[in-house]
Amino acid sequence: MHTEVLIVGAGPTGLTLACDLARRGVRFRLLEQAPGLFPGSRGKGLQPRTQEVFDDLGVIGAVHASGSPYPLMRNWQGGEPGPEWDLMERRPAEDGAPYPEVWMLPQWRTQEILHARLLELGGSVEFGTGVLAVRQDAHGVEVDTTAGTATADYLVAADGGRSTVRRAAGIPMAGETVDEKAALVADVRIEGLARSHWHVWQHAPGGAALLCPMPGGTEADFQLFAQYEEGEPDTSAEAVRRIVAERTHLSGEAVTEVRWASGFRPRAALADRFRAGRVFLAGDAAHVHSPAGGQGLNTSVQDAYNLGWKFGRVLRHGAPEALLDSYELERLPVAADVLEMSTSLHRAGAVGVSAKRGPHTEQLGLGYRGGPLAEERRDGLAEDDLQAGDRAPDARCTTPDGTGRLFDVLRGTHLTLVVAGTALPDPAGLPAEVRTARVAEGYGEGYLLVRPDGYIGLATADAADLGPYLATLGAA
At residue 294, the pLDDT reads 67
Pairing of strands 434-439, 415-420: parallel
If you average pLDDT over residues 240-268, what whole number do you get? Answer: 95
At residue 206, the pLDDT reads 94
Distance CA 66, CA 341 (A): 29
366-397 pLDDT, tens digit per residue, is 999 999 999 999 999 999 999 999 999 999 99
Distance CA 253, CA 263 (A): 22
Eight-state DSSP code of residue 304: H
Report residue 111's pLDDT band, with 50, 70 and 90 as the boundaries: very high
13-30 pLDDT, tens digit per residue, is 999 999 999 999 999 999
State the burial class of residue 180 (Cβ atoms within 10 Å of its Cβ: 0-12, 13-18, 19+): exposed
Pairing of strands 279-281, 154-157: parallel
Give the number of other Cβ atoms within 10 Å of residue 333's Cβ.
Answer: 14
Report residue 338's pLDDT band, with 50, 70 and 90 as the boundaries: confident
Q: Answer whether residue 350 shows pLDDT above 50.
A: no
Residue 69 backbone phi and psi in degrees, to 5: -65, 160
Lowest mean pLDDT among 6-15, 28-37, 231-240, 422-431: 422-431
Collapse the DSSP code of 88 into the 3-class scheme (helix H, G, I; strand E, B; otherwise coil) and give the result: strand
User: Kindly report the CA angle at 175 between 43 and 359, in degrees rounded to 5?
Assistant: 45
Q: Answer whether residue 473 shows pLDDT above 90.
A: yes
Q: Answer whether residue 347 shows pLDDT above 80.
A: no
Position 464: which residue type?
A: A
Cβ 208 vs Cβ 202: under 8 Å: yes
Provide CB contacts within 8 A for 75, sequence distance 6+. Answer: 81, 82, 83, 84, 85, 200, 201, 202
List, in sequence order, every residue forming a beta bridge with 225; answer none if it has no partner: 185, 210
Distance CA 438, CA 426 (A): 8
At residue 93, the pLDDT reads 79
Which DSSP string do the residues of 398-457 spell out, in sequence order? EETTEEEEHHHHH-SSSEEEEEESSSPPPPSS--TTEEEEEE-SSS-SEEEEEPTTSBEE
At residue 267, the pLDDT reads 82
209-220 pLDDT, tens digit per residue, is 999 999 999 999
Give the chain's largest Cα–Cα span: 71
256-310 pLDDT, tens digit per residue, is 999 999 998 888 899 999 999 999 999 999 999 877 666 889 999 999 999 999 9
If you average pLDDT over residues 194-211, what whole number do you get? Answer: 95
Provide CB contacts within 8 A for 81, sequence distance 6+. Answer: 74, 75
Q: Answer whether residue 351 shows pLDDT above 60.
A: no
Q: Answer whether residue 407 shows pLDDT above 60.
A: yes
- pTM here is 0.95
If you average pLDDT over residues 150-177, what whole number do you get? Answer: 94
At residue 291, the pLDDT reads 78
Report the share of the chain in percent with pLDDT over 90. Answer: 83
Position 302: which residue type?
A: Q
Which DSSP string do the residues of 125-163 spell out, in sequence order? -EET--EEEEEEETTEEEEEETTEEEEESEEEE-S-TT-
Q: Answer whether residue 354 shows pLDDT above 80.
A: no
At residue 352, the pLDDT reads 40
State the burial class of residue 401 (Cβ atoms within 10 Å of its Cβ: 0-12, 13-18, 19+): exposed
Lowest mean pLDDT among 39-48, 98-107, 360-369: 360-369
In 3D space, the residue among 455, 454, 450 whose CA is nearest the CA of residue 475 turns out to be 450
Q: Mean pLDDT, the chain, as a whole number?
A: 93
